[in-house]
Amino acid sequence: MRTKVAIIGAGPAGMLLGQLLHSYGIENVILERQTKDYVLSRIRAGVLEQGTVEMLETLGITGRLHAEGLVHEGIELLFGGQRHRVDLTRASGGKAVTVYGQTEVTRDLMDAREAAGLTTQYLAQDVALHDFDGKNPRVSYTKDGLTHELACDFIAGCDGFHGVSRKVLPSSALQTYERVYPFGWLGLLSDTRPVSNELIYTNHERGFALCSMRSPTRSRYYVQCSLDEKVEAWTDDMFWDELRRRLDREAAESLITGPSLEKSIAPLRSFVAEPMRFGRLFLAGDAAHIVPPTGAKGLNLAASDVHYLSHALREFYDDKSSAGLDHYSATALKRVWKAVRFSWWMTSMTHRFPDNDGFATKLQQAELDYVVRSSAARSSLAENYVGLPYSFGKPADGARE
Ligand code: FAS
Ligand code: PHB
């Protein structure tokens, strides 16, 4: 079997890349080790940057997103028992975010891919990359007990943090940067009316909490927890009691509770692997970088990488130019690191660090107070939260996107 671009992973990065390449007339095949239902069962991101929505709009697949997604023009910061609204739209020059779950984005992309009759091999096991730094890259995998080989021009490693793509690179070829946070997020999904119309990020002495949602009738909540917590030890009632303790009186009293549809603990880390290109292999999304979800950037960074990579591949096939491919890593990383910084900053400002001394706590309070009182600080938070322009990815040397 042969294709132009072999994509490993049917998460948001792989599915979005596959659809964009198809829209450019560039043939591609996706290899996914799980089933479609398993991929859709993972509860992850909830907030889309405007740039991500616009990319999906170019594919003509945003009917459900615009019907069911919730446009949010602000978020609230809760600290010292007071809620402070940050008007994202006013502070970012008119931009907003859309609350629409990653599961739904992936479902829309999967439906579009099936409707176009494109090939996605689910349950593709033992995926292995060959000659990715040579002239005949190819990917082998086993399915239904048979070994298959997919010859291609390029391989897109969209297989997430635990995938094979980054791991096949010689350690001498990669420089990695990492910060592991000393806490996790215990998340709960429930079919209950959200406690607020907008997201509430809380800095409380007991720890961070986040009130989010998926729809007017489905809520998504998180509380910071220690790394040795086990989700089995948390009953729903324990979760609701802990969340209430971290909210202001009004929110605590109006919180609607109900049975959890999903409950899980996610560890938090910042991680970047450089470069994001090695020969004919290009990394995109969590395969190359991880951010703490505090800044709502993970899914949106996957879209950002795919924006640059899809344009570069289109330039290669249409204009016979490899300039975009040659600058992909530098261009993508320029924007990745700004999102890594923002996600680290939002996490540092809102979470309780076990080794925080009085000085660190005072700094947090000063940071929060400055953000809610300074229009300059609010604008900085807002332009990062709604998503920096993709042109921010342009390297200083003016390389093309
Ligand atoms: P993904 O991990 O989504 O997809 C990779 C795909 O590759 C998977 O389907 C996997 O099965 C497949 N794969 C892996 N190895 C393979 C192999 N060897 N062969 C074939 N296929 C293989 N981001 C936010 O913005 N907000 C959040 O609240 C948030 N919460 C999160 C909670 C959790 C528990 C996790 C793990 C992540 C969370 N994220 C959040 C980040 C998340 O949304 C990612 O950024 C997003 O899924 C990135 O998409 P992909 O790069 O496509 O990677
Ligand atoms: C979510 O709804 O899952 C969500 C929203 C915003 C974040 C993180 C997670 O910063």
Asked whether residue 83 is domain-assigned, the answer is: no
Catalytic residue among 72, 95, 289, 311: 72
Output the domain CATH number for residue 64. 3.50.50.60
Quote helix, strand, coil % in the chain, to nearest 5: 40, 30, 30
Q: What is the pLDDT of residue 133?
A: 95
Distance 51 CA to ligand 1 centre (A): 19
Pocket perturbation via mutation, ligand 2, pick of 220, 262, 301, 345 by most ligand atoms within 8 A of CB: 220
Q: Is residue 277 part of a domain?
A: yes
259-285 tens-digit pLDDT: 999 999 999 999 999 999 999 999 999
Asked whether 221 and 188 are in contact (CB, 8 A), the reply is: yes
CA of 296 to the centre of ligand 2 (A): 5
Ligand 1 site residues (CB inside 6 A) read: 8-14, 31-34, 39, 44-46, 102, 124, 127, 158-160, 163-164, 266, 285-286, 293, 296-299, 302
- Closest C-alpha to ligand 1, atom 53: 160
Residue 91 lies in a domain: no
395 is catalytic: no
Q: What is the pLDDT of residue 43?
A: 87
Is there an atom of ligand 2 within 6 Å of 219 CB? no
Q: Please check whether residue 117 lies inside any domain of the structure.
A: yes
Regarding the beta carbon of 268 and ligand 2, being less than 6 Å apart is answered no
Assigned domain for 133 exists: yes
Kindly report the average pLDDT of the chain as a whole number: 96
Whether 311 is in a domain gets the answer yes
Task: Establish whether residue 296 lines the binding site of ligand 2, counting it when its CB lies within 6 angstroms of any ligand atom.
Answer: yes
The two structure tokens encoding residue 262: 């999903």
pLDDT at 107 over 80: yes
Q: What pairs with residue 142 in β-bridges?
A: 125, 147
Question: What band does 381 get if pLDDT is binned at 50, 70 and 90?
Answer: very high
| 246 touches ligand 2 (CB under 6 Å) | no
Q: Is 311 in the pocket of ligand 2 (CB under 6 A)?
A: no
User: Of ligand 1's atoms, which has the minimum distance to the CA of residue 284?
Assistant: 51
State the amino acid at position 149 in one-letter form: E
pLDDT (average), residues 357-386: 97
In angstroms, what is the span from residue 163 Cα to ligand 1's centroid?
A: 10
Residue 385 among the catalytic residues:
yes
Residue 336, C-beta contacts closer than 8 angstroms, at least 6 positions apart: 272, 288, 289, 301, 304, 305
pLDDT above 90 for 286:
yes
pLDDT at 391: 84
Which domain range does residue 308 map to? 5-71+97-177+269-353
Compute the distance between CA of residue 340 and CA of residue 288 in angstroms, rounded to an integer.
12
**Phi, psi of 356, deg, nearest 5:** -65, 125
Quote the CA–CA distance of 108 and 172 in Å, as a whole number.
Answer: 39
Q: Which of 208, 210, 350 to mutate to test the pocket of ligand 2 (most atoms within 8 A of CB)?
A: 210
Domain membership of residue 187 (yes or no) is: no
Maximal C-alpha separation, the chain: 64
Residue 399 has pLDDT above 50, yes or no: no
Phi, psi of 225 (to 5 degrees): -140, 165
61 lines ligand 2 (CB under 6 A): no
- Please state the rounded mean pLDDT for residues 87-98: 97
User: 28-31 and 120-121: which strand pairing?
Assistant: parallel
* Percent of the chain surpassing pLDDT 70: 98
Number of domains in the chain: 1
Tell me phi and psi for residue 149, to 5 degrees: -130, 135
* 201 included as an active-site residue: yes
The string of DSSP codes covering 69-138 is -EEE-EEEEEETTEEEEEEHHHHTTS--EEE--HHHHHHHHHHHHHHTT--EETT-EEEEEESTTSSS-E
Helix (H) or strand (E) holding 149: strand 146-151
Cα(71) to centroid of ligand 2, in Å? 14
Contact indicator for 213, 221 with CB cutoff of 8 Å: no
Alpha carbon distance 179, 224 (integer Å): 17
**Residue 223 amino acid letter:** V
